[in-house]
Amino acid sequence: MTGLPDPRARYGDRFGTHGRRRTVADGPDRTTNARTTTDERMSEGTMHRSAPRLTRILACAAVPVMLLAAGCSSDSDGSTGADSKKKQESSAPTPSTKASAEATVEPAKFAKLPDACKSISAATVTQLVPKAKDKTGKAGNSADISAQGSCSWNGLEDKGLKGSQYRWLDVSIKRLESEKTLGSGEERATKDFTKQVADVKATEGAKNVKEVPVSGIGDQATAITYDLRKTDEDFKYQVIVARTANVVVTLDYNGAGYQGAKTPDSAEMMKGAQKAAKEVLAAVATANQ
C-alpha cells in the first residue's frame, strides 16, 4: 500500500530485517546492547555527580557538631576558651609594666654620711660646750655607720660663786635608702622626719612644749623647745629636727644652771642649736661630693 509508512522504519529496534519479531535465535540485539551501554554510562555519571554532593551533605552535617563543641568549651560568661586566655594574658603584668613600676622609685640622693663627731666644727663645739670633757666627742654605737651615726659632747663650766653651767650637745644623723617596697629615700626620710618630731614632743616629763617651723635649714626643719626638771634642776631643751633629701638630722642642745647659777637663756641656746644643725647638713653634702 502506497502512502503508508514502513513499519520497519519505526519499529526497526523490535523487528528483524523481514519485519518479524526478533527472537533469541536471531542473535544479540545490537540496539539493546547499545541502550544498556548508554544506561551504564549514565549510571556512572550519576555516581560521579553524586560524590561531591555527598561530601557537601556530610560537611553540612558536621557544622552543628562543631558549633556544639565550641559552645561546650566556652566559659560561663559566654566567652570561649580563647577569649579567656586573652583576658588572662591582658590582665597579667608584662615586663614593661613591671619595669615602669620599678622606675618610679627614685634613687637616693645621698649615699654616704659624714663622721658624726666631725660634722660640727671644733669652734662651734667650744662655743656651745665650753668645758667639754672630750672636745672630739663621744661616738654612739651604730651597726652601720653609713646608715646612721651619732655623737655627743658634755661639760660643766665652773664659775665659782656664780655657780656652774652645764651643757649637753648631741647630734644624730640618719640616712634612708630607696626601697622598691618602701618608697624612695626622700619619701622615707620625710616620714622619719615627722616621726622624730613627734617623738621629741612626746618626751616624758616635758613641759611647755613648743614647735616652730624653721626656714633656711635643709629641705625642711622644725625647732622644738621644752622644759624638763632632772637632778633637782630645770633644764632647757632646744631641739632641731631637719631633713635634707634622704637624710634626717636631729640635734639636741640642752643645759641647766647648778649651784645657784642662772637658768640658760632659751633664745641664745636656740641660735647655737640652729648654727650647729646647719654645719651638720653641710657636712652631709660634703661627704657625698
Residue at 175 is within a domain:
yes
Q: Which domain holds residue 220?
A: 116-287
Better-scored residue on pLDDT, 96 or 70 = 96
User: How many other C-beta atoms lie within 10 A of the C-beta of residue 234?
Assistant: 13
All 3 cell numbers of residue 262? Answer: 642662772
Q: 188, 182 in Cβ contact below 8 A?
A: yes
Residues 120 and 204 in one domain: yes
Residues 264 and 148 in one domain: yes
In the chain, the number of structural domains is 2
Residues 124 and 199 in one domain: yes
What's the confidence (pLDDT) of residue 161? 86
Residues 149 and 283 in one domain: yes
Residues 165 and 62 in one domain: no
Which of 92, 107, 127 is the C-terminal boundary of a domain? 92
Cα-to-chain-centroid distance, residue 273? 40
Which of 59, 92, 125 is the C-terminal boundary of a domain? 92
Residue at 100 is within a domain:
no
What's the confidence (pLDDT) of residue 87? 56
Residues 120 and 69 in one domain: no
Q: 22, 12 in Cβ contact below 8 A?
A: no
Residue at 177 is within a domain:
yes
Residues 168 and 262 in one domain: yes
All 3 cell numbers of residue 252? Answer: 639636741
**Predicted TM-score of the model (pTM):** 0.66
Half-sphere exposure of 248 (CA within 13 A, CB side): 20
pLDDT in tens, 33-62: 444 444 444 444 444 444 455 455 444 444
Give me Rg for the CA atoms of the chain: 53
pLDDT in tens, 99-158: 455 568 899 999 999 999 999 999 999 999 999 999 999 999 999 999 999 999 999 999
Q: 192, 174 in Cβ contact below 8 A?
A: yes
pLDDT in tens, 27-36: 444 444 444 4
All 3 cell numbers of residue 25? Answer: 535465535
Residue at 110 is within a domain:
no
Residues 72 and 164 in one domain: no
